Structure 1
Amino acid sequence: MRDRGVVADVVPTPELLDRMLAQKPRCWPWAAYASVLFQHWAALEERKVIQVLGEPVGPPTGWLESGAEVAAFVAHQVRAVDAIVMEAGAFLRSPLFLAVFGAPDDESTADAAGIVRAGRRLSGYYARLLEAAEECRRQAVADDDAPLLADCIRFVNQPLQDFNGYLNDVLERLEHQQKRAVAGRRPLTLPPLPLPVTTDDGVIWSILDRLQVVD
């Protein structure tokens, strides 16, 4: 029988996560999910900071010689990033994702393996976004084309921030559940957490305007 005084929290290692899943203290489903996200996010944090702050990512791996090549590259990256964000958002709304947490008032119905898979899948979307963002910064272009590539980098960086906002939302939900558990109150049925999507109209219009005048 589990200790009713213990409340699960985020753990930093897979070994501690395995222990949590074996013991299943109160609030374990969302604590486990948050732990999977946290562990994967932490492994990528240095790369994300380098990307967002614009620090060097190494020598260029590609050279886009003409304005047309830059335009094609930017259009491809924008579409690719949009597709990843849409796929991630759809996954978070899907019955497959929602089902792994079980009934809000009965944690015994949650699927431990499913929660881990869900966290890994969402982390995979985050990793793909980071790779796409890094690919933009590895391109060398002529000075005249640099503003368009800079706009592209700004565009692809925003979803990275949005994904981190989602992690904060997950942590807030876990904290909410922990407080209710400690107070001896039943968990509430809460709506699914959506993936925040920030739209920078200025960046989008700047990209579109520059694409219109590419030679």
Structure 2
Amino acid sequence: MSGFTQKADEGAALTPEGIEGIPNTPVTVRNDMSGTVSGPVVQASQIGNVTINYNAGPPPMDSTPGQDSVEGVSSNRFEPVPRSLEQINSIVSRRSPAWEYLAYAGYLHVGMKELESRWLDYSLGHKFAGSSFSNAEDLSRHVVAAFREVEGIAHQVGLWLSPDAQARAFGAPGESGDPVLIEHLARRLVGAYGGLIDWSIAMRSVRTPEQLSQIVGTAARFADRSIKDFRLFVVNLVERLDGLSVLVEQAPTEPIFMNFSYVMDIDSQVLEEFQAEIRRVKRLQRRWF
């Protein structure tokens, strides 16, 4: 899933338009999901989504107290999203109504909380003693390679959110889902989120001469929107699933349909700042040489 190509045996170089291999005008390609992918790195109108389509239906007419219920929750009521692994295991083992989606949201919630310390490091501007580059040519090669890493993460996200993966995990209509695959997909998606955090911290930690530092600082912000939107994606998913019972009470015989999209995108302002900084450094190089 790439909006640009760069031969592995060629070094990257600064050009008036930007870093070689990262054009000013994004090249757009189609992917196998709804939406588009564009360079540099990835810009998607919709990289993937989670679709919930659950038909609760009316409760059986001959039901008796306790029948078709889970700890007092009737077949037309839903438990909230589990907030711990113990709660997830309980919902999965009891096959609570819509357990597949509740477990999936629970794993995303738990996984994101487990990475909270890393997210705090990222949000507070943490740096470590990163790689050191003394000239623009070596730095440009490093930046291009780093952008390829983000492309790899974007490809993973597309895989974990693909319709095929969701169908296998959540099951076809009327069929039970696969609890092992549900956990796997959720943990892989959280892993991609953690990868974006680590990538951003590593990029901002690169050491360069002062005149090149803004290239690094701006490049590190390429993942900002994708990180923020993943957190919103999980929060919105959990909040909406927590309210399933209310939706059923409002329309007890209607199917429940929800669509949650996670967008991987680059802030256009960040992209413009990055390209402007490349042009500034190129002008400086001309003065020096």
TM-score, normalised to structure 1, is: 0.83
Instruction: Look up the equivalent residue of 1:154 and give its one-letter code.
Output: R
Deviation at 1:177, TM superposition (A): 2.8
| Distance (whole Å) between structure 1 residues aligned to residue 110 and residue 86 of structure 2 | 11
Quick one: structure 1 residues 176 and 89, their matched pair in 2 at CA, closer, same or farther if it must change by over 3 Å? Answer: farther
* Structure 2 residue corresponding to 1:188, chosen from 237, 241, 256: 256
State how far apart, in whole Å, the 2-side matches of 1:74 and 1:80 are.
10
Q: Which amino acid aligns with 2:109?
A: F
Residue 160 of structure 1 and its aligned partner are, at CA, apart by 0.9
Paired letter, 1:13: S
Deviation of residue 38 (structure 1)? 0.9
C-alpha distance in 2 between matches for 1:36 and 1:207: 36
Unaligned runs of 5+ in 2: 1-67
1:125 and 2:196 aligned: no
Q: Which residue of 1 aligns with 2:83?
A: 12
2:235 aligned residue (161, 168, 174):
168
Do the aligned residues in 2 keep the contact of 1:89 with 1:195 (CA within 8 Å)?
no
Change beyond 3 A, Cα 1:181–1:23: farther
1:60 deviates by 0.9
The 8 Å contact of residues 2 and 23 in structure 1, kept in 2 or not, is answered as no
Q: Which range moves more in the overlay, 7-16 or 115-124?
A: 7-16
RMSD between aligned alpha carbons?
2.4
Match of 2:256, SS state, is: coil
* 144, 150, 171: which one aligns with 2:211: 144
Contact 2:109 2:238 in 1 (8 A): no
More strand by share: 2
Output one character per residue of 1:19-71: Cα deviation in whole Å (capped at 9) or x when no partner: 111112223221101110111110111211221331x34x4132122222222
Which sits farther off after the overlay, 93-102 or 35-44?
A: 93-102
Report the TM-score when normalising by structure 2: 0.64
Q: Distance in 2 between matches of 1:35 and 1:23?
A: 15
Q: Residues 100 and 181 (structure 1 numbering): CA distance in 2 closer, same or farther, change over 3 Å?
A: farther
Tell me the CA shift for residue 150 of structure 1: 0.9
Match of 1:39 among 110, 120, 140: 110
Secondary structure of the residue that 2:151 maps to in structure 1?
Answer: helix
Matching residue of 1:158:
225
Q: CA shift at 1:167, angstroms?
A: 1.0
Structure 1, residues 78-106: CA drift from partner, whole Å, max 9, x if none?
Answer: 232133124313431331223322345x4
- Select which of 2, 16, 23 maps to 2:94: 23
Percent identity between the aligned chains? 20
Residues of 2 paired with 1:111 and 1:182: CA distance? Answer: 28
SS in 2 for 1:140: coil
Measured after TM superposition, the shift of residue 135 of structure 1 is: 1.1
Q: Which of structures 1 and 2 has the bigger CA Rg?
A: 2
The answer to whether the 8 A contact 1:51-1:134 is kept is yes
Give the drift of 1:73: 2.1
**Range moving further from structure 2, 153-162 or 181-190:** 181-190
Instruction: Give yes or no for contact 1:162–1:195 (8 Å, CA) kept in 2.
Output: yes
